[in-house]
A = this chain, B = another copy of it.
Amino acid sequence: MNLKNKITNKLQSSKLRPTKQRKKIAEFLFNREKTFHFTAEELNKIINKKDSSEKISLATIYNTIDAFKKAGHLKEILTNNNKSFYDTNVSSHHHFFDIETNELEDINYNDIKVVNLPHAPKGKKIQDVEVTLTVKKS
């Protein structure tokens, strides 16, 4: 199956209509080897670079990120920044976070071991375990 069909399938099986806009964004986000970390504004800039024949509105960028997140294709990341960061790697994994440049870098889940996990507060359950290694210029 070719890329276009794969993307269309992915959208349809998430009950998202494969519109021109969603296909373009999905193709950009999900057709890659390495994890991509981004903000809505960054994605907007990249998708709507000069050449791009047809522009996608900022509202659609936000809507699409939200739809992809709800469908489980994107994950929101914890940072101390006041804009939201998203991650194309939706499996459990860890990060380096450069507090000076706001850059994120993946750490494989198995490269860090977290032992002695405490119990969740009563009435709650643990949903995810994230380790963030805050880094800065040395």
Contacts and interface: CB of A to CB of B under 8 A. Distances in A.
A113 B83 CA distance: 30
Chain A: number of interface residues, binned into ranges: 35 or more
A135 B131 contact: no
B107 A121 contact: no
Interface string A60-84: 0000000000000000111110111
Given A96-B120, A115-B115, A116-B111, A130 B132 contact: yes
A34 interface: no
Given A112-B114, A115-B115, A134 B124 contact: no
Interface SS majority for chain A? strand
Copies of this chain per assembly: 2
Given A99-B127, A130-B131, A84 B80 contact: yes
Contact of A113 (B82, B115, B120, B133): B115
Interface in A97-125: 97-99, 105, 107, 111-118, 120-121, 123-125
B134 A127 contact: yes
Residue among A113, A116, A117, A127 with max Cβ neighbours from chain B (10 Å): A127
12 contacts: A77-B80, A78-B80, A78-B97, A82-B84, A105-B121, A112-B114, A114-B114, A115-B115, A123-B137, A125-B135, A126-B133, A130-B132
